[in-house]
Amino acid sequence: MLIVLLILLLRPILGVATSGNEKCSPSDKYEPVSETQLPDPWKFANGKPVVTAADFACRQAEMSKILQQFELGDFPPPPDSLQATCRPSYGEPAMIGIGGVLVPTPPELACIIFANDACAAQSGASSRGRGWFYDLHGSSYSAGALRAWAWAWCVGRIVDGLEQLGAATTGINPARLGITGCSRNGKGALIAGAFEKRITLTVPQESGAGGCPCWRMYDAELNSGRRIIMPPGGGPSPIWSIVSENVWFSQMFNEFVRNISAIPADHHFLPAMVAPRGLFISENNIDWLAPASSTGCMRAGRAIYNGVGVKTSMGFALRGGHNHCMFPAAGEADLLSFINRFLLGKGEPNDVDVSIVQSSLSSWVGRWSAAPNITLSGG
Ligand code: MCU
ipTM of the complex: 0.95
Q: Tell me the CA–centroid distance for residue 232 and ligand 1, in Å.
A: 9
Check residue 76 and report its DSSP letter: P
Contact 199, 179 (CB under 8 A): yes
What are the CA-CA distances from residue 240 to residues 84, 188, 227, 286 (Å)?
A: 39, 19, 15, 20
Structural domains for the chain: 3-365 (3.40.50.1820)
Does the annotation mark 369 as catalytic?
no
89 tagged catalytic: no
Residue 34 pLDDT: 98
For Cα atoms 343, 116, 275, give the angle at the middle one, nearest 5 degrees.
Answer: 40
- The 10s digit of each residue's pLDDT in 289-319 is 889 999 999 999 999 999 999 999 999 999 9
What pairs with residue 204 in β-bridges? 181
State the amino acid at position 320 in one-letter form: G
Instruction: Give the pLDDT score at 91.
Output: 56
pLDDT, residue 85, reads 79
Q: Ligand 1 centroid vs 365 CA: distance in angstroms?
A: 28
pLDDT tens-digit series, residues 134-167: 888 876 655 455 678 888 899 999 999 999 999 9
pLDDT < 70: residue spans in the chain = 1-22, 87-91, 139-146, 225-237, 379
- Identify which of 171, 178, 186 has the alpha carbon closest to the alpha carbon of residue 94: 178
Say what the pTM is: 0.92
pLDDT value of residue 1: 37
* Ligand 1 centroid from CA 230, angstroms: 8
Which amino acid residue places its CA nearest to atom 2 of ligand 1?
A: 183
Q: Which atom of ligand 1 is nearest to the CA of 209?
A: 5
Residues having CB closer than 6 A to ligand 1 are 183-184, 206-209, 230, 242, 245, 289
Q: Give the ligand 1 atom nearest the CA of 184.
A: 13
pLDDT score, position 13: 28
**Strands of 201-205's sheet, edge to edge?**
2-3, 110-114, 94-98, 177-182, 201-205, 278-283, 314-318, 353-355
Taking the C-alpha atoms of residue 106 and residue 363, their distance in angstroms, rounded to an integer, is 40
Cβ atoms of residues 200 and 280 within 8 Å: no
